[in-house]
């Protein structure tokens, strides 16, 4: 057998007597609830032990003739010992003299997937010492109950679980309070502590709080199990009472808890029947929509369901950007364009905010209302992309390859009342991208130069750029526009540039102080149209000399020219008068 296979052997130094029934005894060795090997013990065996060379988990001995029955043994008439052991524990010797078979009632926790956050969670999460450290980020555990075949169809809520050598008791209630649910809560008797659970990492570390670190403690799987306690808090062997019958209980099974991370910028939208009007993320669904917890049949009240609308998790500033990887993947999926392409990336899913942010599924389509990004309008053409299958449960070294190879789906979407609106089916959540374009445009630079020995190099000059399109608002390069107008100041040898302006758009640039205070102002390209992928510079020059004598052709000072003309005319008249007197 392989090194990690369970084995059976005869105990050393034993003299096996004859077995009265003169038949071999078939047994199965189970590892973590699954048959690992099948054996036949000779009819004259005296004793055998169960060993394991390596591995993790628990082992049980099953009756090969009746798989519903498992082995237990008696040290004496009053003390019953289970034959469920963790590997590497001290395994008890089982002998034919005290070996018994019985059917077990098994209580198994249910796998769960949750996100960080949430308004409420399990009260009974414990640390390694058994102390309760209830956490709002961990869910209420659910359990499935497996009954022996002869109890098929029995009402499991009629079972009473009792501590064999103690006074503690528990009962089962449907997890969602609904008859027909196959998942239950294990409710302690009045006055007892809550049913205790603990969550353990693969290296044995026990979760004691919800202080998970994005990229480290989350997007990771944990084992989840009933906590049996230690020392004074230990829970002894438990039996299940059903009418007059009593069955030993197997609660050794483990479940998986998957904790998915969130960023500090996550938003939530409660499910509504009417579309949102407040400009925030929104979610609507028909009134008859049924929500269930993870992959189970546990119903979730619509009042606690919300849409998680989160940023993309980046591991660190030094690592390769996952946003950039998603954008590269989207660019491959979209057709080539000369236009400027813009992205807004978000991670979406449904959660139960009242139960540890547990992942929720809907039985039909829900409608998402994504607010229009800044700088866009209802005339903007949007594309919604879905990166299928990129759930937050991958190891860090798998994420980049998963992004590169994922399927990218184009989602039908429409723009209405300030939102991009689209539907998502059951299980269709993960990262999404909102994509829009602006025509390939050019840039406009406005520069200022002051010259002359009277020019003020430290003076502020006020400029206004006006575009033909009054709907343009937002920051373009180093200019900010509001309804197509940008205002700013420049000093000598300063400039500002508006980048990615739509090609063909008309513009004008004006300077408030042009040709004032003795300055002569000239400019080039102070009006025109933006060139596609080109650059235009509207250059303004202000010159002021100390003599303040205007240059030829300067029409900026008509009064001064009129005065000079009048003086010249008076001089000519005077000269003519003097000439006549001499004659």
Would 159 be classed as within a structural domain? yes
Q: What is the pLDDT of residue 277?
A: 95
Contact (CB, 8 A) for 361 and 427: yes
pLDDT of residue 196: 75
Percent of the chain with pLDDT over 90: 43
Q: Considering only 245-254, 347-356, 447-456, which range has the smallest mean pLDDT?
A: 245-254
Which is higher by pLDDT, 499 or 187?
187
Residues 222 and 279 in one domain: no
**Torsion-angle region of 88 (φ positive above 0: left; ψ -120 to 50: alpha; else: beta):** left
Domain boundary among 438, 465, 494: 438
pLDDT digits (tens, 9 = 90+) for 405-463: 999 999 999 999 999 999 998 778 999 999 998 777 789 999 999 999 999 999 999 99
Q: Indicate if the alpha-carbon torsion angle 133, 134, 136, 137 is positive or negative.
A: positive
Cα distance between residue 345 and residue 331, in whole Å: 13
Tell whether the model's pLDDT for residue 143 goes beyond 80.
yes
Same domain for 430 and 466, yes or no, is no
Instruction: Name 294's Cβ contacts closer than 8 Å, sequence gap at least 6.
Output: 110, 111, 112, 113, 358, 359, 360, 361
Q: For residue 581, is pLDDT > 50?
A: no
Domain co-membership, 339 together with 303 = yes
Say how far apart CA 573 and CA 568 lie, in whole Å: 9
Give the whole-angstrom CA distance, residue 87 versus residue 291: 39
- Name the CA radius of gyration of the chain, rounded: 40
295 and 309 both lie in a single domain: yes
Pair (158, 295) in one structural domain: no
Q: What CA–CA distance (Å, rounded) separates 402 from 404?
A: 5
74 falls within a domain: yes
Least confident of 127-141, 250-264, 313-327, 348-362: 127-141
Q: Are residues 372 and 485 in the same domain?
A: no
Flag whether the pTM goes above 0.75: no
Q: What is the pLDDT at residue 135?
A: 61
Same domain, 212 and 256: yes
Q: 12 and 136 share a domain?
A: no
CATH number of the domain enclosing 451: 2.60.40.1140
Q: Is residue 155 part of a domain?
A: yes
According to DSSP, residue 568 is labeled H
252 and 291 share one domain: no
Phi–psi pair at 324, nearest 5 degrees: -65, -35
Q: What pLDDT, on the 0 to 100 scale, is given for residue 335?
A: 82
Q: Is residue 130 part of a domain?
A: yes
pLDDT given for residue 292 in this prediction: 95
Q: Kindly indicate the confidence band of residue 263, based on its pLDDT and cuts at 50, 70 and 90.
A: confident
What pLDDT does 100 receive? 73
Q: Residues near 436 by Cβ (< 8 Å), separated by ≥ 6?
A: 341, 342, 373, 376, 380, 381, 382, 383
Write the pLDDT tens digit of every residue in 174-189: 999 998 889 999 999 9
The residue with greater pLDDT, 164 or 523, is 523
Q: Domain of residue 503: give its range.
A: 442-543
pLDDT over 80 at 119, yes or no:
no
pLDDT of the residue at 81 = 59
Sign of the Cα torsion 42, 46, 49, 50 reads: positive
Phi-psi region of 577 (alpha: psi -120 to 50; beta: other; left: phi over 0): alpha
Task: Give domain status of residue 560, yes or no.
Answer: no
Has residue 64 got a pLDDT over 50?
yes
Average pLDDT over residues 501-512: 93
Does a structural domain hold residue 552?
A: no
447 and 298 together in one domain:
no
Of the chain, the end-to-end C-alpha distance in Å amounts to: 147
The residue out of 215, 238, 260 marking a domain boundary is 260
In whole angstroms, what is the distance from residue 68 CA to residue 312 CA? Answer: 49
What is the domain-level CATH number for residue 326?
A: 2.60.220
pLDDT at residue 534 in the model: 81
What is the DSSP annotation of 183-243? -EEEEEPTTSPPPPEEEE-TTSPBP-SS-PPTTTTSSEEEEEEE----GGG----EEEEET
Domain end (from 50, 71, 103): 103
Residue 557 lies in a domain: no
Q: Kindly state the average pLDDT of the residues 265-272.
A: 93
161 with 60, same domain?
A: no
Residue 210 confidence (pLDDT): 41
Check whether residue 43 and residue 80 sit in a common domain. yes
1 lies in some domain: no
What is the number of domains present in the chain? 4
> 282-284 and 25-31: which strand pairing?
unpaired
Residue 193 φ then ψ, to 5°: -70, 155
Which residues does residue 522 pair with via DSSP β-bridges, in sequence order? 541
């Amino acid at each position: 057998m392989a090194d990690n296979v369970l084995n059976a052997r005869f105990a050393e130094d034993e003299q096996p007597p004859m077995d009265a029934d003169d038949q071999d005894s078939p047994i199965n060795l189970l590892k973590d609830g699954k048959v690992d090997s099948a054996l036949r013990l000779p009819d004259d065996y005296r004793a055998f032990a169960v060993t394991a060379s390596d591995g993790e988990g628990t082992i049980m001995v099953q009756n090969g003739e009746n798989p519903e029955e498992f082995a237990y043994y008696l040290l004496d008439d009053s003390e019953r010992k289970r034959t469920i052991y963790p590997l590497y524990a001290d395994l008890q010797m089982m002998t034919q003299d005290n070996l018994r078979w019985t059917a077990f009632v098994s209580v198994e926790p249910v796998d769960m997937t949750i996100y960080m956050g949430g308004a409420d969670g399990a009260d009974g999460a414990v640390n390694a010492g058994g102390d309760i450290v209830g956490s709002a980020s961990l869910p209420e555990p659910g359990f499935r109950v497996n009954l022996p075949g002869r109890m098929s169809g029995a009402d499991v809520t009629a079972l009473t679980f009792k501590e064999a050598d103690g006074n503690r008791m528990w009962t089962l209630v449907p997890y969602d309070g609904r008859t027909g649910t196959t998942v239950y809560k294990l409710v302690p008797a009045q006055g007892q502590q809550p049913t205790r659970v603990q969550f353990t990492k693969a290296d044995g570390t026990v979760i004691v709080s919800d202080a998970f670190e994005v990229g480290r403690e989350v997007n990771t799987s944990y084992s989840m199990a009933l906590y049996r306690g230690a020392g004074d808090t230990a829970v002894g062997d438990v039996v299940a009472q059903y009418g007059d019958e009593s069955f030993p209980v197997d609660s050794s099974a483990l479940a998986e808890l998957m904790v998915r991370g969130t960023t500090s910028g996550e938003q939530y939208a409660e499910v509504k029947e009417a579309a949102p009007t407040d400009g925030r993320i929104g979610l609507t669904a028909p009134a008859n929509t049924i929500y269930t917890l993870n992959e189970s049949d546990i119903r979730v009240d619509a009042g606690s369901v919300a849409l998680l609308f989160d940023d993309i998790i980046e591991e660190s500033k030094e690592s390769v950007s996952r946003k950039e990887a998603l954008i590269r993947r989207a660019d491959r999926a979209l057709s080539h364009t000369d236009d400027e392409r813009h992205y807004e990336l978000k991670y979406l899913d449904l959660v139960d905010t009242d139960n540890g942010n547990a992942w929720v599924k809907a039985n039909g389509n829900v409608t998402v209302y994504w607010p229009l990004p800044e700088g866009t309008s209802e005339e903007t053409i949007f594309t919604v992309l879905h990166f299928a299958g990129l759930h937050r449960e991958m190891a860090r070294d798998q994420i980049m390859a998963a992004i590169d190879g994922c399927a990218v789906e184009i989602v039908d979407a429409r723009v209405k009342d300030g939102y991009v609106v689209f539907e998502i089916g059951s299980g269709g959540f993960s990262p999404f991208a909102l994509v829009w374009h602006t025509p390939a445009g050019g840039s406009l630079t406005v520069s200022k130069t002051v010259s002359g020995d009277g020019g003020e190099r430290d003076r502020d000059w006020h400029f206004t750029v006006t575009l033909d399109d009054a709907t343009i608002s937002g920051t373009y390069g180093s200019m900010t526009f509001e309804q197509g107008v940008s205002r700013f100041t420049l000093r000598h040898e300063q400039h500002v540039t508006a980048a990615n302006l739509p090609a063909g758009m008309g513009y004008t640039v004006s300077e408030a102080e042009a040709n004032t205070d003795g300055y002569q102002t000239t400019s080039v390209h102070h009006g025109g149209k933006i060139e596609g992928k080109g650059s235009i510079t509207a250059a303004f020059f202000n010159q002021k000399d100390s003599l303040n004598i205007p240059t030829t052709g300067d029409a900026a000072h008509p009064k001064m020219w009129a005065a000079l003309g009048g003086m010249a005319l008076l001089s000519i008249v005077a000269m003519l008068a003097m000439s006549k007197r001499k004659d």
